[in-house]
Amino acid sequence: MLTLGIESSCDETGIALYDSERGLLADTLYSQVALHAEYGGVVPELASRDHLRKTIPLIRECLQQGGKTLADIDGIAVTEGPGLIGALLVGTSIAHGLAHALKIPVIGVHHMEGHLLAPMLEESPPKFPFVALLVSGGHTMLIEVQGVGSYKLLGETLDDAAGEAFDKTAKLLGLSYPGGPALAKLAKTGDTNRYRFPRPMTDRPGLDFSFSGLKTHTRTLWQREQTGTAEDETIKADIAAGFQHAVAQTLLIKCRRALQQTSCKRLVIAGGVGANQMLRDTLLSEADKKGWQVHYPRPTFCTDNGAMIAYVGNLRLSTGEVSADGIRGRPRWPLDELQPPAVQF
């Protein structure tokens, strides 16, 4: 079965082709970063309009890359939520229109299920069960994954998501949008130990997170420390390094706890913040010590992409599952509402 995947939930248009036998055939991405950069964040209406401009040309490009035509597609997978409603509706409208014209099934995919299962696209995919740390711009969750569609929420953020904390902290320090990668780059030149940052919510039991305090801590620190001289660049880099270290350590503490609680030794890191090298190194070195297995998708499959949507859609469509209730977007869609497909993998 050949599935066309469409992702348009935020500021990236991602299109991919996934074949049940041959795997990922083509994967194309258009990032709107430059469009939103001057506003310092995603402008929803601009995002929708850009998805509208880019989706169809990108589908053509993807088909060409995969050596396929529209007539070869057996099903369409589209991100139905969570995300920006206007952006989602562009993807779902195009998907439903195409499916109707081609007389093929369409399925709405949960964006976070896409992130969760993205490591399955790699050469050595994780085996079930595993604990997943989902860290993106909108979510920070620890999930016990028994199989496809069987997701038990162990903990989540009570305020800002990890990616959001990166983005807001970067903005505070005057870094360019998107803040996460910019802050990570600056942190490479900084001294991790110069400033001590808190490890929020690690001194009490449980697996929930809170990141808004780290942002406030950074604001106060930066206001107090800045000198108005060239020395500020070093101070900024040291603050970035301290902040990044605190986020990585906090996530590590909670992952350790989640693995202990579930008696599981397999950890999957997914979502945009999973592209952060310090987080990857921190978890890998702990895994070495503790005998865990840690799985990451490649960095381009950590951030939004069409491949993860095509993969999940292909999996569900091939069990006969379809979305029968027409075009819609679900800006809010709890992950644990998902059901396992009729056939388990």
Smallest separation, CB 100 to ligand KG4 (Å): 28
Q: Looking at 24-32, 226-234, 269-277, 317-325, which segment touches ligand KG4 (CB under 6 A)?
A: 269-277
Q: Which of residues 33-92 bind ligand KG4 (CB under 6 A)?
A: none
Q: Which of 50, 113, 304, 321 binds ligand KG4 (CB under 6 A)?
A: 304
Q: Give yes or no for residue 180 binding ligand KG4 (CB under 6 A).
A: yes
Q: What does the alpha-carbon distance between residue 70 and residue 240 come to, in Å, rounded to a whole number? A: 47
Closest CA to 291 of 245, 257, 249, 259: 259
Closest CA to 247 of 331, 187, 178: 187
Q: What does the alpha-carbon distance between residue 250 and residue 221 come to, in Å, rounded to a whole number? A: 19
Q: Give yes or no for residue 297 binding ligand KG4 (CB under 6 A).
A: no
Q: Which of 8, 48, 136, 250 binds ligand KG4 (CB under 6 A)?
A: 136
Nearer to ligand KG4, 29 or 317 (CB): 29
Q: Give yes or no for residue 268 binding ligand KG4 (CB under 6 A).
A: no
Q: Looking at 13-21, 201-209, 216-224, 273-281, which segment touches ligand KG4 (CB under 6 A)?
A: 273-281
Q: Give yes or no for residue 179 binding ligand KG4 (CB under 6 A).
A: yes
User: Which of ligand KG4, Zn ion, none does residue 75 bind to, with CB < 5 to 8 Å depending on kind?
Assistant: none
Q: What does the alpha-carbon distance between residue 144 and residue 266 come to, in Å, rounded to a whole number? A: 10
In the sheet that holds 293-295, the strands lie side by side as 150-156, 140-147, 130-135, 266-270, 293-295
Smallest separation, CB 41 to ligand KG4 (Å): 10
Give the pair of three-digit tokens for residue 301.
Answer: 């499959």
Neighbours of 229 (CB within 10 A): 8
Q: Give yes or no for residue 137 binding ligand KG4 (CB under 6 A).
A: yes
Instruction: Answer whether 42's CB lies under 8 Å from 50's CB.
Output: no
Q: Which of 89, 259, 273, 307 binds ligand KG4 (CB under 6 A)?
A: 273
Instruction: Answer whether 69's CB lies under 8 Å from 33's CB.
Output: no
Q: Give yes or no for residue 10 binding ligand KG4 (CB under 6 A).
A: yes
At CA 321, angle to CA 317 and CA 326, rounded to 5? Answer: 100
Whole-number Cα distances in Å, 78 to 12, 91, 95, 140, 324: 13, 6, 6, 22, 13
Q: Which of 55, 79, 92, 136 binds Zn ion (CB under 5 A)?
A: 136
Q: Looking at 34-42, 56-64, 124-132, 267-275, which segment touches ligand KG4 (CB under 6 A)?
A: 267-275
Site residues, Zn ion (CB under 5 A): 136, 304
Site residues, ligand KG4 (CB under 6 A): 10, 136-138, 163-164, 166-167, 178-181, 184, 271-273, 275-276, 303-304
